[in-house]
């Protein structure tokens, strides 16, 4: 099964994203510019070891020229790409090729933290250009603690970690077949959720939101392609989460509609970043 390493949330201005996150109760730590020099990032380190990466162009860069997810950053699109950690990126790329999935990589990745610590990793992107449905893979070359550590502010909070990546897709059946071929995920089941035509792959962190003609998801796909449209962070006490974080009104969630979700109550995050009851 897939385990999420981190999820990327992109926009035009990093200070704005960090302020929005702090406003709803998600403090972040500045992580420095990426090695390309065109983007920089901040980390919201979660208790399970995964993290939310806030990413934007550097002050001197045009969003359209960003080294990572330029269309998403230019459009302030929020969810951009998602990542799973693997022992060996080259081996994972070989598995993808064997599953008839196009790969871009492996590539070297790097950034330098504000304290001067170099962070280095290997990564590989999978799928056609402009298609972010499949997660990219990552393997650290420096200690993982250089890249992220859980934020101590969340130690006594109900927040657990990254629970679900919701993918905006044009054809849920075709996307499910892709994930079965590449990652052996099970057949999705219909569920109550934040979007129409919503389905979950049981036991995995993946959900599909199929776009309808003329709807908001179709417009998003037209603008930035298929891929993540929302992230849900898991909480083990929904009432405590509602007290701790700034959230919208709860909504039913899951195949039996017996769980709850809510969005972080800020314009940058509504219907893009929320919490779900575990």
pLDDT of residue 196: 85
Same domain, 176 and 198: yes
Same domain, 25 and 129: yes
Same domain, yes or no: 17 and 142: yes
CATH number of the domain to which 247 belongs? 3.10.180.10
Whether 17 and 137 share a structural domain: yes
**Phi-psi group of 264: left, alpha or beta (phi > 0 → left; psi -120 to 50 → alpha; rest → beta):** beta
Reported as a single tens digit per residue, the pLDDT across 93-117 is 999 999 999 999 999 999 999 999 9
- Domain end call among 94, 112, 147: 147
The residue out of 95, 127, 147 marking a domain boundary is 147
Range of the domain at 248: 156-277
Same domain, 116 and 15: yes
In a shared domain, residues 32 and 131:
yes
Domains identified in the chain, total number = 2
Q: Are both 137 and 183 inside the same structural domain?
A: no
Which pLDDT tens digits describe the chain residue by residue (278 residues)?
799 999 999 999 999 999 999 999 999 999 999 998 999 999 999 999 999 999 999 999 999 888 899 999 999 999 999 999 999 999 999 999 999 999 999 999 999 999 999 999 999 999 998 899 999 999 999 999 999 999 999 999 999 999 999 999 999 999 999 999 999 999 999 999 999 899 999 999 999 999 987 899 999 999 999 999 999 999 999 999 999 999 999 999 999 999 999 999 999 999 999 999 99
Which of the listed residues 147, 176, 201 is the one where a domain comes to its end?
147
* Closest CA relative to residue 166, chosen from 198, 124, 213, 126: 198
Helix (H, G, I), strand (E, B) or coil at 36: coil
Q: Is the full-model pTM beyond 0.95?
A: yes
* 201 and 249 assigned to the same domain: yes
Q: 185 burial class (0-12, 13-18, 19+ CB within 10 angstroms)? A: buried
d(C-alpha 224, C-alpha 130), whole Å? 7
SS3 123: strand
Does 179 lie in the same domain as 99?
no
Same domain, 122 and 31: yes
């Amino acid at each position: 099964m897939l385990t999420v390493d981190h999820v990327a949330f992109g926009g035009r201005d990093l200070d704005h994203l960090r302020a929005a996150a702090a406003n709803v109760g998600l403090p972040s730590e500045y992580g420095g510019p990426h090695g390309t020099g065109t983007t920089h990032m901040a980390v919201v380190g979660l208790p399970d070891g995964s993290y939310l990466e806030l990413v934007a162009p550097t002050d001197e860069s045009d969003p359209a020229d960003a080294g990572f997810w330029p269309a998403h950053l230019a459009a302030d699109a929020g969810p951009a790409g998602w990542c799973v950690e693997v022992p060996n990126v080259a081996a994972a790329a070989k598995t993808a090729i064997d599953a008839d999935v196009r790969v871009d990589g492996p590539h070297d990745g790097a950034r330098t933290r504000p304290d001067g610590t170099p962070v280095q990793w290997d990564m590989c992107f999978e799928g056609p250009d402009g298609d972010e449905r499949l997660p990219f893979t990552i393997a650290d070359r420096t200690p993982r603690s250089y890249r992220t550590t859980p934020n101590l502010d969340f130690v006594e909070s109900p927040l657990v970690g990254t629970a679900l990546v919701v993918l905006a897709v044009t054809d849920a059946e075709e996307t499910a077949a892709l994930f079965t071929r590449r990652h052996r995920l099970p057949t999705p089941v219909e569920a109550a959720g934040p979007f129409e035509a919503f389905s979950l792959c049981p036991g995995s962190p993946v959900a599909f939101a199929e776009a309808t003609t003329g709807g908001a998801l179709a417009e998003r796909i037209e603008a930035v392609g298929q891929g993540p449209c929302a992230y849900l962070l898991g909480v083990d006490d929904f009432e405590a989460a509602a007290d701790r974080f700034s959230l919208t009104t709860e909504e039913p969630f899951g195949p039996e509609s017996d769980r709850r979700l809510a969005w972080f109550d800020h314009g940058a995050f509504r219907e893009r970043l929320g919490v779900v009851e575990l």
